[in-house]
Chains A and B, each alone.
Chain A
Amino acid sequence: MTQSTNFPAGSIEAVAFPCEGLLSDDLLISRDADGNLSLQNSSCSKAAAFFERPRVASSPKIAGQPADLSSAIAKITELFGKSRHPLISGLATDVYGMRAVMNLAETAGATIDHMNSKSSMKNLLVMQNSGWYVTTLSEVKNRVDLLVVIGTDVVSYFPRFFERVIWNKEAMFTENTDAREVVYLGGRDINTEPGTSPSGRKPDVLPCDPDRIPEVLAALRAIISGKPFTATEVAGVATADLEKLAERLKAAKYSVIAWTGSALDFPHAELSIQTITGIVEHLNKTTRSAGLPLSGNDGDVTAYNVSTWISGYPFRSSYRRGYPDYDPYHYETSSLLKEGEVDVLIWINSFNPERLPPASKTPTVVIGHPAMQFEQPPEVFIPIAVPGLEASGAQFRSDSSVTLPLKKLRATELPTLGDVLSAIEAALKAA
């Protein structure tokens, strides 16, 4: 795979890791004459795996057999043309890809959902029901004096979180970042080592079973709000420890309470997130505090932002009525497939080849990373240029306030997601 002259061997600075919510853009990538990339300045294994994945020759396939692009598009158009209710899911892409998704969904009367919507939806429901007070990564980096993380180690999802925004050497408003306090509240056997300060000060850990996090959070909220509270322990956490934490939160100048939707894996976790945001709301009556919902992997923050500005709604919405319609309970991928409510699925997966479409009897089309492998070949597979690797683009960060440009780091013969979806849409309109 020789590179065109536009992509000679060299190194590229300020590269963003496009499929991880922190979207760290301090990466230095070197490229050889064949377009192989290597990560030069970070020990992040997830980023290395993404950029350094060996290139594979990949072509469109129909029922597992190699086909040319136009035949593959014609086959998808045929499936969509006779569909009464198409579903476009996965949606791991960037802003430009999502624009094309929205156009095709509008034309085809399709429903859309994201592969991470189960966790993202917990946050979106809170935003829509009560709202919240939240902050962003640079504010955390420069201001936080007390970080409380709920039910997660954070680093399983965002490996560089502590390195980037807690143990940074310099901060504008924290004289000594080493003195920052970290508390892990809830969860069992989580990796709290990254919460140890550079000088070796250990974080405080208040463990409980993950499914009892709601009780512990409710107790903390009651204590902070000054409600009568008589129990001596909650889910194994001593009330005295919660009272101490409440006092620390009230004394902090800028506390941050962080969570990730995925780790709060119990029914109606949105209510627990609402408890967290209620704690923040109370703290803000006298001091400053903010929530930090961590998400954005596989482009989920991009997907709901683009969908929202174009249709008014995040994912789990549909154009099947001829106008945008939102139902976060009904338009959910696994139940739509299980109930047989949709008759064709397009699964879009640009970043992680291991994220396969859910198994179902519904005819499935996959448009995604060229390294994707299938046990059951989909009806059609079209490999595409990966945004931030083989296509330029734009991606939203976890905190939604920052959108970063994605760089095309090497040449490819593969089309972009926009190319493919626009071709399908044009064919549908012509039919």
Chain B
Amino acid sequence: MLIKLTGGRIYDPAHNIDGRVMDIYVRDGRIVERPGDAETIDQEYDLRGKVVMAGAIDMHTHIGGGKVNIARLMLPEDHRASPAVHTDACRAGCGHAAPSTLTTGYRYAEMGYTAGFEPALSPVNARQSHLEMCDTPIIDKGGYAMIGSDDYFLRMLAAKQDQNAINDYVAWILHASQAIGIKVVNPGGINAFKFNQRALNLDEENIHYKVTPREVLQSLTRAVYELGIAHPLHVHGNNLGVPGNVETTLKTMGAVEGYPVHLTHIQFHSYGTEGDRKFSSGAAAVAEALNKHKNVSADVGQILFGQTVTASGDNMRQYANSGHGSPRKSVLMDIECDSGCGVVPFKYKDQNFVNALQWAIGLEIFLLTEDPWRIFLTTDHPNGAPFTSYPHLIRLLMDKGFRNDMFAKLNLDAQSMSTLTSIDREYSLYEIAIMTRAGAAKLVGLHDRGHLGIGAGADITVYTDNADREAMFAKPDYVFKDGQLVVRNGEVVKVTWGSTHTVKPEFDRGIEKDLKKYFDTYHTMNMENFKVSAAELEDDGRGHVIVQECKGRREKTA
């Protein structure tokens, strides 16, 4: 099957293509060279005047695993308002803040997204995460394995094991949990909470292990770098949501000593303590630091107003926030000497001072951070807002007038604390394509996605140019997934099953000797059963496991 996409205006930042009119050819799911004149084009799409980008990639979205399913289970009242009825192409489902897996896949595809990455896959819960993601149709997916508060790792640090042993453990975790990256949440803090510590600053010791978050961050950023994993250590820092946490965030950037690091939902970590209410924007300082530290990237975790649900591994902070829940309920857990979780429904209100300022802080970070290759468009779905609000967020970034109109509706005290209206920047289509496609693929390590070059997977989204960017990005004309037309005019027309992206760095399997002893002594499951096999994901015909190459593996440092 040879498909020709004719005459679209192409935005492909990976190849420095900024709106050039070009033809694209697709064969067997891949973008191919222009075929010889003798070859027959099986199908042609006339894209003259249309905007063409690679399929979008959400590099941080909670779409599968224990806490996501707890969020679904907890929110029947939210689902009731958003039923998804059975259609010719799609099965029924429901949900707005925490949609069912099927609905999640359909809605992402309908917005032109072709991949999403679960950022907090707890290794002990990896099987469930993957089972859910495998039931999420059309889009590709993957997970970042969450370590750093697990007792095995903290025992290693406490015992001053060398970096090589840490690297082997990190690699073992990636294999066992079929993950593509490593995440740390409130470094060491989830563990400290189990010992009744209520906060953990960057240089504060876990009372049991005598290990600090700084040590956790240093050993894990280095492990990820030395293993050659493309995605830098994905860090949800200490003190999420705490006024004044901008100091922690700035210190965290320095703590990693130049190793690559990704600071996630940085909006929630950019708060100062100025003003009458001791809550202020730290966006300018954070953006300035991001501009300066070339080894640091971030996604924003923008909040948008309305009902949502917060779901996090950070049960220390979620416990602290549980009183603010709306509706007032929360599920909190300590999990398997591995991690924790906290799920708290939340309703962000534009007339609430704190919420309104959070909204402005997120946008300030977007607009003050200069390099679109190092800042990413997320709402930390569903924590800041459901992913279905991305088109609205894109309009806020691309349309200053619209942004200022929205700003004018906010809580007045919050308005007086923000410099947002003084920022003139509007994101271009090219910059949107960087942050949602080329940059995201590069950051996650998807070598054949996020671009439209020869050999790339044919994940392609076609939009009608529209000055109303929200309308434009909400309803693409066409979405192709691996060369198949899956969405037409913003509606799913064909359901496919995407792949799961992983990395499998080499490591010394001798580590299993000690791990087996640890599992047999302290765990309630067998080490062999902890490991998730690719076959478990592929059974039931739910797509394939793809192993992305770990390029640039470094020599172990003694």
Known: A311-B94, A323-B94. A402 touches B334 (CB 8 A): no
Instruction: Tell me, rounded to whole Å, the shortest Cβ–Cβ distance linking B523 to chain A.
Output: 5
* B526:A25 contact, CB within 8 angstroms: yes
Instruction: Give A142 to B334 CA distance when docked, in angstroms.
Output: 12
A143, B91: Cα distance in complex, Å: 44
A402 partner residues in chain B, CB cutoff 8 A: 124-125, 336, 524-525
Contact of A319 among B92, B319, B526 (CB under 8 A): B92
Q: Which residues of A contact B322 (CB under 8 A)?
A: 131
CB closest chain-A residue, reference B322: A131
Query: 1/0 contact trace for B317-339 toward A, CB 8 Å?
Result: 00100100000111111111110
CB distance from B191 to the nearest CB of A (A): 11
**Nearest CB of A to B311, in Å:** 12
Contact B525 A312 (CB under 8 A): no
Q: Which of B85, B195, B328 contacts A323 (CB 8 A)?
A: B85
Contact across chains for A310 and B135 when beta carbons are under 8 A apart? yes
- Max chain B Cβ within 10 angstroms of own Cβ: one of A99, A128, A401: A401
Q: Is B282 an interface residue (CB 8 A)?
A: no
Closest chain B residue, CB of each to CB of A130: B329
Q: Which residues of A contact B524 (CB under 8 A)?
A: 22, 24, 137-138, 141, 164-165, 402
Contact B73 A128 (CB under 8 A): yes
Residue of A nearest to B77 (CB): A128
The answer to whether A323 touches B69, judged by C-beta atoms less than 8 angstroms apart, is no
Interfacial chain B residues near A138, Cβ < 8 Å: 336-338, 522-525
Question: B residues within 8 A CB of A310?
Answer: 93, 100-102, 135
**Shortest CB distance A270–B (Å):** 14
Q: Which secondary structure characterizes the binding site on chain A? A: mixed
Inter-chain contact B93/A311, CB cutoff 8 Å: yes
Band of interface residues on A: 35 or more
Please give, as numbers and ranges, the residues of chain B lying within 8 Å of A284 by CB-CB distance. Answer: 319
Shortest CB-to-CB span from A12 to chain B, Å, is 11
A288 interface hit (Cβ, 8 Å): yes
Q: Using an 8 Å CB-CB cutoff, how does the interface string of A332-358 with B read, 1 for contact, 0 for none?
A: 000000000000000000000000000
CB < 8 Å neighbour of A311 from B66, B100, B151, B330: B100
- In the complex, A22→B525 CA distance in Å? 10
Given the known interface contacts A25-B525, A170-B522, the answer about A136 and B100 at a Cβ–Cβ threshold of 8 Å is no
Whether A305 and B128, one on each chain, are in contact in the complex, defined by CB atoms closer than 8 angstroms, is: yes
Determine the residue in chain B with the shortest Cβ distance to A304.
Answer: B73
Instruction: Report B-chain residues with C-beta under 8 Å of the C-beta of A24.
Output: 524
Partner of A131, one of B93, B332, B522, B536: B332
Number of A-B contacts (CB under 8 A): 190
Residues of B within 8 A of A396 (CB): 128
Flag whether A409 is at the interface (Cβ < 8 A).
Answer: no
Q: Tell me the A171-188 residues at the B interface (CB within 8 Å).
A: 171-173
Q: Which of A14, A324, A401 is B124 in contact with, Cβ under 8 Å? A: A401
Minimal beta-carbon separation of A140 from chain B (angstroms)? 9
Is A196 an interface residue, CB under 8 A from the partner? Answer: no
B381 to chain A, nearest CB (A): 15
Contact indicator B529/A14 (Cβ below 8 Å): yes
B127 touches A290 (CB 8 A): no
Does B84 interact with chain A (Cβ within 8 Å)? yes
- Digit string of B75-116 for contact with A (CB within 8 Å is 1, else 0)? 010011001111000011111001111110000000000000
Q: Is A129 an interface residue (CB 8 A)?
A: yes
B-side contacts of A25, CB under 8 Å: 525-526, 529
Instruction: Decide if B337 touches A139 in the complex (CB within 8 Å).
Output: yes
Interface centre among B135, B333, B524, B539 (most CB of A within 10 A): B524
Whole-angstrom CA separation of A13 from B516 in the bound complex: 14
Q: Is A127 among interface residues, defined by CB-CB distance under 8 A?
A: yes
A322 near B100: Cβ-Cβ < 8 Å: no
B557 at the interface (CB under 8 A from A): no
B441 CB, min distance to chain A CBs, angstroms = 27
In the complex, which of the residues B91, B135, B330 has the most CB atoms of chain A within 10 Å of its own CB atom?
Answer: B91
Known: A141-B522, A141-B524. A403 touches B69 (CB 8 A): no
Least CB distance, A1 to chain B, in whole angstroms:
25
A326 within 8 A of B: yes
In whole Å, how far is B467's beta carbon from the nearest beta carbon of chain A? Answer: 35
- Checking B91, B208, B334 against A290 with a beta-carbon cut-off of 8 angstroms, the contacting residue is B334
- B79 CB contacts on chain A under 8 angstroms: 312-313, 324, 326
Interface centre among B73, B122, B127, B523 (most CB of A within 10 A): B73
B93 with A401: CB separation less than 8 A: no
What residues on A are CB-neighbors of B80 within 8 Å? Answer: 326
CB distance from B370 to the nearest CB of A (A): 40
A67 within 8 A of B: no
Q: Does A367 touch B at the CB level, under 8 Å?
A: no
Taking the closest CB of chain A, its distance from the CB of B75, in whole angstroms, is 8
Pairs A–B under 8 Å by Cβ, sample size 11: A106-B91, A131-B330, A136-B335, A137-B524, A139-B337, A172-B151, A288-B193, A309-B68, A309-B69, A309-B132, A405-B536
Using a CB–CB cutoff of 8 Å, the interface residues on chain B facing chain A are: 64, 66, 68-70, 72-74, 76, 79-80, 83-86, 91-95, 98-103, 122, 124-125, 127-128, 131-132, 135, 151, 193-196, 208, 319, 322, 328-338, 343, 521-526, 528-529, 533, 536, 539-540
Known: A106-B91, A313-B94. 19 other contacts (CB 8 A): A14-B529, A124-B73, A127-B331, A131-B331, A131-B332, A138-B523, A165-B524, A284-B319, A311-B93, A312-B72, A312-B79, A312-B94, A312-B95, A312-B99, A312-B100, A323-B92, A324-B100, A401-B66, A405-B533
